[in-house]
Structure formats: structure tokens, C-alpha cells
Chain A
């Protein structure tokens, strides 16, 4: 007979996946934020190319978005702020997905600007949408507490 309060044991693979996902997701967002911060003008131009936001918001968004990415990535790696970090990153990713979808619907050919100007130009389209959906799934996994997945307390420090 199973005790009602017995801790639920999930496969060890998932217990490993949560901290790995946290590292991976945080690395992706940090890698995305740094080039934008180094060249905010280029990112401002990338934002303007989407033709969604009013011109007066381009510069503010060009500074705010990478800062949010950095702060949220740091929060995701800290146990006490993990949930809020995951929510913030999830919200950002959902916003990116909505933006990509609007570009696809409008049939506009724009460059992503996701990783600033340092990366190779990448057009917004279905592959990018799929990538962001995978990123969203990664954030969901990363938000899971390791302890609840059956790992020990040491593992939860990630």
C-alpha cells in the first residue's frame, strides 16, 4: 500500500534535465542579451523593422529587453527566484512568439535581431517560431524544482 504523503519519484532523467535546462536556457538568453547591449542602435533598428512598435519606443525597448533577459536569466539560476525568473523568461518568449507570428502572417521579410548584429542574419519565419517554441518548452522544464523531481537537495541548488 502506498502512503498518501510519500514523495513522488519521477525518472532520474528528468531530475537531471531540470538543472541542465536551467543552464542552457540561461546561457541562451545571456548570449542573446550581450550583443544587443553592446550595440543598442543596431537592436533599435531591428525593432523598427518589425513595424509593430511606435517609433518613440524603439530605443527604450532596445535597452529594456536585453536587461530583462539578463536579469531573468540570473533569477532562473537562483533557487529562491527561479519561479519568477522562469515566468519572466516565459513571458518574454511568448512575446517573441507573438511577434514572429505577426511577421509570418503579414508576410514581411525582416531579420530577427535575436542575437544582435554579431550573428549571421536570420530571417523571421517558421524555423524561428519552432525554435522559440522549443525554448518555451525548455523554460517550462527549467522551472521545475529538482527536489520535486526526486533529486537530492544538492541537485536542487542548481
Chain B
């Protein structure tokens, strides 16, 4: 076996694997080769000067996950269920572009001030699932921590992979007004 033959075999086998993978993904229309790109990737950042408990984002990144997470597949089964609140922490423009049905719009930048109001349609006993516009869940975790600490919501989870993974999993998207 010459090195040239081995290289050729490696190239051919890689090509075969790519073709089979394409065929395999073709059988899963809900799983496209390239996941849909969210409209805004970096829309939400917490403002550090706002009142409330300070969250050390660096510490969050080092010690993830601070909140339990839920996969898109598991979360799909909870859409429309009683006592479930999806919280979209992206900015309003991204939310209007498409969001999980019945989700509550709570942009991360405004979350600390909005949480000071009593009008948020979240009951203390609700199960809350937060999600952001990027795979990095730090913004969703920040808001989840605020919800847990300020509203005494015990059952707060973060959607793994955020909005991109939700779309990749075939999750429904709506442009209708959400809960807030």
C-alpha cells in the first residue's frame, strides 16, 4: 500500500461519508445542513449600572451552567402547556421577527428594570424557560437568574443552543404578539 493510494482512499472515503451524510440529512427535513441564522446574534447585553443584584458574567462563563438547561427537543413538547412560560431575552426587533408561540418578551438589557414592575405575566409557580439569540446562553442565564432571585421563581431553565437550536430542531416560530 503506497502513501499515494492511502491518500486517495482517505479522500474517497471522506467523499462517501459526506454524500451519505447529505443523504441522511435529506431524510430529516427538520435538520438542515446549516441551521437558520438568527436575525440578531448579539442583541442583548445586561447593563451593569441598573439596580438589582450584580451578576459577574465572567464568573458565569467559568462555572456554567448556573441554571439547569433543557434541550430544544424536550422544550418542544412544552409549547402551549399549562404553567410553562418561555421568556425571550432578545431585543424587541428580534422578538417581532419570530419567537416561540406565547413567549414573553423580556430583553436582557431591560430585564432588571422590567422585573421591578408588578405587571409581568409570570406566576411564582410557573416553570420558566429562557432563551437568547445565540448559542452562548449567558444572556438567557442572566435573565433566568434575575427571574429566580427577584420573582422567587424556583423552576427556571435555560434553552440549550438558544433560538438557533430551537429553529434547527424544527420548533415553531410566530410573529404574533407574545405575552408581554
- Give A residues with C-beta under 8 Å from B: 37, 40-42, 44-45, 48-49, 51, 54-56, 58-60, 62-64, 67-68, 70-72, 75, 80-81, 83-85, 87-88, 107-109
Contact = CB atoms under 8 A, between A and B. Distances in A.
Contact of A60 (B16, B33, B169): B33
Contacts of B71: 42, 45
Interface stretch (B43-51, B120-128, B160-168): B160-168
Contact of B10 (A49, A56, A88): A88
Interface stretch (B20-28, B78-86, B110-118): B20-28
B39 interface: no
A73 B20 CA distance: 15
Interface of B: 1, 6, 9-10, 13-14, 16-18, 20-22, 24-25, 28, 30-35, 37, 62-65, 71-73, 134-136, 160-161, 164-165, 168-169
A68 B33 CA distance: 16
Given A41-B169, A59-B32, A84 B62 contact: no
A68 B6 contact: no
11 contacts: A40-B25, A45-B73, A45-B165, A55-B134, A59-B31, A63-B25, A63-B33, A67-B21, A67-B24, A71-B13, A87-B10
A64 B21 contact: yes
B20 A71 contact: yes
A148 to B, nearest CB: 12
A37 B24 contact: yes
Given A56-B34, A59-B33, A109-B65, A71 B24 contact: no
Given A68-B14, A71-B17, A75-B13, A40 B6 contact: no
Contacts of A71: 13, 16-17, 20
Contact of A83 (B6, B32, B134): B6
Contacts of A40: 24-25, 28, 31
B9 A55 contact: no
A57 B31 CA distance: 11
Contacts of B6: 83-84, 87
A51 B62 contact: no
A48 B135 contact: yes
Contacts of B13: 68, 71-72, 75, 81, 84-85, 88
A80 B9 CA distance: 10
Given A41-B73, A48-B135, A64-B18, A108 B34 contact: no
Given A51-B136, A59-B34, 15 more contacts: A41-B28, A44-B165, A51-B135, A59-B32, A59-B168, A62-B31, A63-B22, A64-B17, A67-B18, A67-B24, A68-B17, A71-B16, A75-B13, A87-B10, A88-B14
